[in-house]
Structure 1
Amino acid sequence: MHRHKIKVLVVDDSAFMRKLVQEFLSENERIAVVGTARNGEDAIAKVRLLKPDVITMDVEMPVMSGLEALKYMMKENPLPVIMLSSTTRKGAENALLAMDYGAVDFIAKPSGTISLDLHLVKKELIQKVLHAAEASLPSQPERSPARIPVNTSKNKAEITDSKVGRPNQTIILIGTSTGGPRALQSVLSALPGNLKAPVLIVQHMPPGFTKSLAQRLDQLSALHVKEAEEGDVLADGHAYVAPGDFHLNIIQGTRLSLSLSKEPPISGHRPSVDFMFESASKLKNIKKIAVIMTGMGADGSKGLVQLNHNGQTQSIAESKETCVVYGMPKAAHATGLITYNEPLDEIAKRIVKLAEG
């Protein structure tokens, strides 16, 4: 059935971690670990020699770090890289930086640099390697315009005073997974600070990483971006990122507000795009703009059906040519309910048109 095994190079400065990752990946019949490397420099040499299909690479290593090696590889010979990161704040920031440099995905080590309990993420590791082999790499020099800080002063007073809860209010709901941080950066950095709608975001990420994502997006966007908190009152020109391990629930009172839910994961995800969409589907007299971008799986498609049952919904799917993984948008298309199919750099323009319409 499969033409050849997926050749993987495992890069980590710990011999113990190299052995564990190699053992886990070798359990899958579609994967062949063709070699290991102990630092970034060693990895670059092994890539030339072994020509792997996918690399798993530790972020923090001596001689040459994973980030430095990644930057070099993406210039020299781009190929799918999955970063293994610690769950510290610095680890989260580095994981996001790695995605910016072109890594396809990352995995959080459960307990630091040497994780004796790495088996907890074994299934995720195997799944991400299988998907990485199919991934489209982001075209390189999109070291996006978001690099230039946009309106970082942000007229907070003006934004905070904006009212939500008026009749025909609009809310924007964005769902992403693999390749999402980079896609979110592209879209949010192109949205105006005076956007007449709040933006709710579900990005599949573990706890701790969503805060760093929100802070990073806040620096690069004219919107005020924050990690969502219990009781947040939704305001125009604000974006709220669902915290890792919590669903986003939208409450309709005199104003729209958020509550965080620990209800069970949906199809393995918490936060889940389906959960957010289904919650939004219950809102009365509110116009919804649903956006589904790059990611593996089908999260969001069931919720899209619910949103459409209740009317007042326009939807945008990222087109195949710009997706890192065309899973979630493909599943959304299969519902027959997508209103607009847009490449990544056109999504913000479409959102603004719909929000103003």
Structure 2
Amino acid sequence: MKKIRVLVVEDSAFMRKLITEFLSESSQIEVIGTARNGQEAIKKVKNESPDVITMDIEMPLMTGIEALKIIMNENPTPIIMLSSLTSEGAENTTLAMQYGAFDFIAKPSGSISFDLHKVKDELIEKVVAASRVNVERLQNKTNNTESALSDLSSYSTIGSLNKRIITKIPAKKGDSGKKIICIGTSTGGPRALQQVLTALPSDIGAPILVVQHMPAGFTKSLASRLDSLSEIRVKEAEAGEIIQNGTAYIAPGGFHLKVKKVGMSLAVDIDQSEIRNGHRPSVDVMFESISNLSDYMKIAVIMTGMGADGSKGLVELKRKGLVKAIAESQETSIVFGMPKAAISTTMVDSVENVQDIAAAIVKYC
């Protein structure tokens, strides 16, 4: 079996050795070389053509972000970023996702993590997953980021047209008119969320709850960036806040996102109950909580990501109420695991390319 050829890019000699040792424990992986900074990385990518790169964000001479941009433009390769758990690290990680990084790993204890063994299995799993991705999807997402944003007005027009059309359709029996949108995603999700949330009109008549698999410290930066690009408001969810139409609430890393009734309104409920499907936040937990809202129509969306989180929750949503379910297509998913699992339940109403998901949401609203 052909091994996955990995280049390790890290300015710390200790971290280079540790990452190399961890990856070499997998029979599927071969570390073909290391680099101390972004400049060395660019040269070695040209000469060695690795299958996957692990890249530190903070390095001298040339940062990981700068090297990422050049590599994705000149020699597109799946890149996993290693980020420190700082506010600056979180902001840079969010940028890296937009520039085409496959995914990221949060270093448990700063730039030099003596306890990196805590994320060893996650690192190996993501390297294996990255080796299977169609790198053109990463490159296309990178190149289309600005054009997608420049098309915001046309997306909004599409949404408005769909909204006008849908008002001519009689309300379904049992539909109280109250709606809630819930979105689950993982690997590749930040870019997918950018395409979807930036295309929703500000007057959309429903709140949006989002679970993006991310560790604590990173979701606030993601929410802030998406808020700056979107017509709707986007924020990290806070316990107890009343949920408003036209606002997207992203589950805080490390917390499950649920909803609870407060009088005639809904409020955010977050907790650190048991990890589900290896994740907290979990899409299944969010979907199951929303399934208990008997007087709401739900629009459920499952996009790119590893694993099957969200599929069981989708079944529960459909069992308990009126639901329209959308899954991202294999054609545009960075990783087709979560959408594929959702589709296999036979509960999905439509399969859409990522650029068409916002219009589908507005249609169902």
Q: TM-score, normalised by structure 2?
A: 0.91
Question: What is the match of residue 257 of structure 1?
Answer: 267
State the identity as a percent. 58
Question: What is the match of residue 144 of structure 1?
Answer: 146
User: Which shows bigger deviation, 175-184 or 40-49?
Assistant: 40-49
Question: What is the match of residue 9 of structure 1?
Answer: 7
Task: Identify which of 21, 24, 42 aligns with 1:23.
Answer: 21
C-alpha contact (below 8 Å) 2:234/2:249 kept by paired residues? yes
Report the secondary structure of 2:2's partner residue.
Answer: coil
User: Which shows bigger deviation, 247-256 or 135-144?
Assistant: 135-144
Tell me how far apart the structure 2 counterparts of residues 25 and 323 of structure 1 sit (CA, whole Å).
26
Tell me how far apart the structure 1 counterparts of residues 274 and 307 of structure 2 sit (CA, whole Å).
18
Structure 1 letter corresponding to 2:360: R
Report the secondary structure of 1:321's partner residue.
Answer: coil
**Residues 63-102 of structure 1: CA distance to partner in whole angstroms, max 9, x if unpaired?**
1111111100111011100000111111001001011110
Structure 2 letter corresponding to 1:241: I
Structure 1 letter corresponding to 2:48: L
Question: What is the match of residue 321 of structure 2?
Answer: 311
Measured after TM superposition, the shift of residue 146 of structure 1 is 5.7
Matches within 5 A, 1:195-206: 195-206=204-215
C-alpha contact (below 8 Å) 1:191/1:352 kept by paired residues? yes
**Residues 317-337 of structure 1: CA distance to partner in whole angstroms, max 9, x if unpaired?**
000010110000000011011
Question: What is the match of residue 343 of structure 2?
Answer: 333
Structure 2 letter corresponding to 1:96: T
Measured after TM superposition, the shift of residue 352 of structure 1 is 0.5
Higher helix share: 2
Structure 2 letter corresponding to 1:351: I
Measured after TM superposition, the shift of residue 311 of structure 1 is 2.3
Tell me how far apart the structure 2 counterparts of residues 258 and 102 of structure 1 sit (CA, whole Å).
32
C-alpha contact (below 8 Å) 1:230/1:260 kept by paired residues? yes
C-alpha contact (below 8 Å) 1:144/1:186 kept by paired residues? no
Tell me how far apart the structure 2 counterparts of residues 11 and 311 of structure 1 sit (CA, whole Å).
49
Question: What is the match of residue 172 of structure 1?
Answer: 181
Task: Identify which of 299, 305, 308 aligns with 2:309.
Answer: 299
**Residues 98-138 of structure 1: CA distance to partner in whole angstroms, max 9, x if unpaired?**
11110000011111111111111111111111111112332
Alignment partner of 1:351 is 2:361:
yes
Structure 2 letter corresponding to 1:182: R
Structure 2 letter corresponding to 1:111: S
Question: What is the match of residue 109 of structure 1?
Answer: 107
Tell me how far apart the structure 1 counterparts of residues 23 and 132 of structure 2 sit (CA, whole Å).
16
Gaps of 5+ in 1: 152-165
Tell me how far apart the structure 1 counterparts of residues 352 and 148 of structure 2 sit (CA, whole Å).
20
Report the secondary structure of 1:115's partner residue.
Answer: coil
Tell me how far apart the structure 2 counterparts of residues 274 and 209 of structure 1 sit (CA, whole Å).
21
Measured after TM superposition, the shift of residue 51 of structure 1 is 1.2
Structure 1 letter corresponding to 2:230: S
Q: 1:90 to 1:148 in 2, by over 3 A?
A: farther
Alignment partner of 1:184 is 2:184:
no
C-alpha contact (below 8 Å) 1:149/1:219 kept by paired residues? no
For the aligned residue pairs, the C-alpha RMSD in angstroms reads 1.4
C-alpha contact (below 8 Å) 1:274/1:300 kept by paired residues? yes
Measured after TM superposition, the shift of residue 144 of structure 1 is 3.3
Report the secondary structure of 2:249's partner residue.
Answer: strand
Structure 2 letter corresponding to 1:220: L
Report the secondary structure of 1:36's partner residue.
Answer: strand
Tell me how far apart the structure 2 counterparts of residues 170 and 20 of structure 1 sit (CA, whole Å).
49
Structure 1 letter corresponding to 2:41: A
C-alpha contact (below 8 Å) 1:146/1:221 kept by paired residues? no
Measured after TM superposition, the shift of residue 168 of structure 1 is 2.8
Gaps of 5+ in 2: 154-174
Task: Identify which of 31, 34, 56 aligns with 1:33.
Answer: 31
Measured after TM superposition, the shift of residue 267 of structure 1 is 1.2
Measured after TM superposition, the shift of residue 249 of structure 1 is 1.2
Structure 2 letter corresponding to 1:306: E
**Residues 260-296 of structure 1: CA distance to partner in whole angstroms, max 9, x if unpaired?**
0111000110000000000011111100000000000
Tell me how far apart the structure 2 counterparts of residues 6 and 305 of structure 1 sit (CA, whole Å).
36
Q: 1:291 to 1:146 in 2, by over 3 A?
A: same
Measured after TM superposition, the shift of residue 246 of structure 1 is 0.5
Equivalences, count: 339
Tell me how far apart the structure 1 counterparts of residues 244 and 152 of structure 2 sit (CA, whole Å).
20
Q: TM-score, normalised by structure 1?
A: 0.93
Question: What is the match of residue 230 of structure 1?
Answer: 239
Question: What is the match of residue 165 of structure 2?
Answer: none
